[in-house]
Amino acid sequence: MIAADLPAWFFRVFAFAWGAIWGSFATVVVHRWPRHSVVRPGSHCPNCQKPVRPYDNVPILAWLWLRGRCRDCKAPISPRYALIEAMYALSALALVELLLRSQVDLALPVFLALFFVRFAFAWGLLTASFIDLKKLLIPDFITLGGAALGLAASFLLPGIGWRSSLLGIALGAGIPYAFYFVWDRFLKRDGMGLGDVKLLAMVGALLGPHAVVFALFFGSMQGIAATLISRVTGWKLAPDIDPEDLEDDGVESLSERFVAMISRATGWKLGAADDAASEADEEDEAPSDGAPEPLMRTMIPFGPFLALGALEYMLGGDRLMQAYLSLLRGQ
């Protein structure tokens, strides 16, 4: 049985519902990570603490029939929950639409596997972006897990192949880490973070080296544009961080332990600049007398712009990249 044997509307309805469900879960992850469990306790009203009934937990629709208010205490519920759920639903719909146009002749299990892998990738990019916008952190369980998923998919599913996946990981980690090293080692300032390094390695694992270049270039351009807009309008791109969100209770991720081991062995400063000397340097460099911060020193979460570039590549930027490379080769 191939995917074309089923009507297209079935895949579209399924994809929209699937995306909305996982979008609802993403709102929980963004709100609770890293301080709290994402599964316990169950969904509840933050005002009256009453548990949300199962029929009031339906993505998008529940906010509409509750008219944006808690059923028990009538406290307002932000519309951003429904909007985020709709964003994930539309992302899933766009992904399945691409598959319906290009790979509908695949066996049904392969078609579905491709959809699930690509949506997992999009889910990770969107969720990492929201967390980065809120806390200036990018979770390892998303980036490292996504890189492992992309590499595994390159062996099992049609796509870029395992060689391109490995090259994408190397390029995705290597290019941003070079920027990170130069900024941290020679300029003595925080530039691109290690979370961005791992995020771009995840992009390379699933989409290959061309996607890394595309996401880095177009992400940077869109990041610069957003920074300029924020300076003109006064909107803040970097959040006010809750100190509790940055505490790790002494628990390090595997990647942090590896970086610390390399740092001890080489004497290089590989981690984030958080010691007293670095703080003093940052204070010395801070603008005084209300002067605006220089553009190149404006602090922004870069992960969302890398993720945006990667999503653009997956949703059609690959064809733009191929056309550009063909133009360069004179074909």
Kindly report, residue by residue over 24-81, the tens digit of the pLDDT. Answer: 999 989 988 878 778 787 788 878 888 888 888 889 998 888 888 888 888 888 888 8
List the domain range (segments joined by +) for residue 154. 141-331
Lowest mean pLDDT among 54-58, 121-125, 287-291: 287-291
Query: In the numeric block, which tokens belong to residue 304?
Result: 């969302």
Say whether both 58 and 157 belong to one domain.
no
Number of domains within the chain = 2
What percentage of the chain exceeds 70 in pLDDT?
Answer: 73
Residue 202 clears pLDDT 50, i.e. is over it: yes
Smallest Cα–Cα separation from 56: which of 71, 76, 38? 71
Average pLDDT, the chain: 79
Average pLDDT over every residue of 6-32: 93
Task: Indicate whether 93 and 155 sit together in one domain.
Answer: no
The reply to whether 123 falls in a domain is: no
Mean pLDDT lowest for which of 18-27, 107-116, 273-282, 322-331? 273-282
Task: Clarify whether residues 193 and 272 are in a common domain.
Answer: yes
Contacts of 284 (CB under 8 A, 6+ apart): none
Question: Is 238 within a domain?
Answer: yes
Residues 145-163, mean pLDDT to the nearest whole number: 92
**Looking at the domain assignment, is residue 192 inside a domain?**
yes
Domain match, 145 and 232 both: yes
Last residue of a domain, one of 105, 130, 159: 105
- Our CA angle for 85, 90, 94, nearest 5°, is 150
Q: Are 173 and 258 in contact (CB under 8 A)?
A: no
What local confidence, expressed as pLDDT, does residue 245 receive? 46
What pLDDT score was predicted for residue 117? Answer: 96
List own/partner pairs for 94-99 with CB under 8 A and 24 or more apart: 94/315, 95/15, 95/119, 95/122, 95/314, 95/315, 96/11, 96/12, 96/14, 96/15, 97/12, 98/315, 99/3, 99/11
Mean pLDDT of 202-231: 89
Structural domain includes residue 127: no
Flag whether pLDDT at 190 surpasses 50: yes
- For residue 315, tell me if it sits in a domain: yes
pTM of the model: 0.79
Q: Does residue 260 have a pLDDT over 70?
A: no
Residue 116 lies in a domain: no
**Six-digit token pair at 20?**
């909305």
Highest averaged pLDDT of the listed ranges 170-179, 248-257, 316-325: 170-179
244-256 tens-digit pLDDT: 444 444 444 444 5
Residue 312 maps to a domain: yes
The reported pLDDT for the residue numbered 92 is 96
Quick one: 149 and 64 in the same domain?
no
Both 254 and 317 in a single domain? yes
pLDDT of 186 = 62
Specify the pLDDT at position 269: 47
Domain boundary among 83, 105, 127: 105
**Cβ contact 2:80 at 8 Å:** no
The reply to whether 182 falls in a domain is yes
Measured from the Cβ of residue 34, the count of other Cβ atoms closer than 10 Å reads 19
Same-domain status, 23 and 83? yes
pLDDT bracket for residue 294 (50, 70, 90): low
pLDDT digits (tens, 9 = 90+) for 264-286: 444 454 444 344 333 434 444 44
Tokens of 306: 């890398």
For tokens 């003093």, the residue is: 280
The answer on 87 and 204 residing in a single domain is no
Task: State whether 207 and 277 are in the same domain.
Answer: yes
Same domain, 170 and 217: yes
- Looking at the structure, do residues 60 and 192 belong to the same domain, yes or no? no
Residues 4 and 80 occupy one common structural domain: yes
Residue of higher predicted confidence among 184 and 302: 302
Domain stop point among 77, 105, 133: 105
pLDDT computed for residue 168 by the predictor? 93
Give the pLDDT band (50/70/90) at residue 262.
Answer: very low
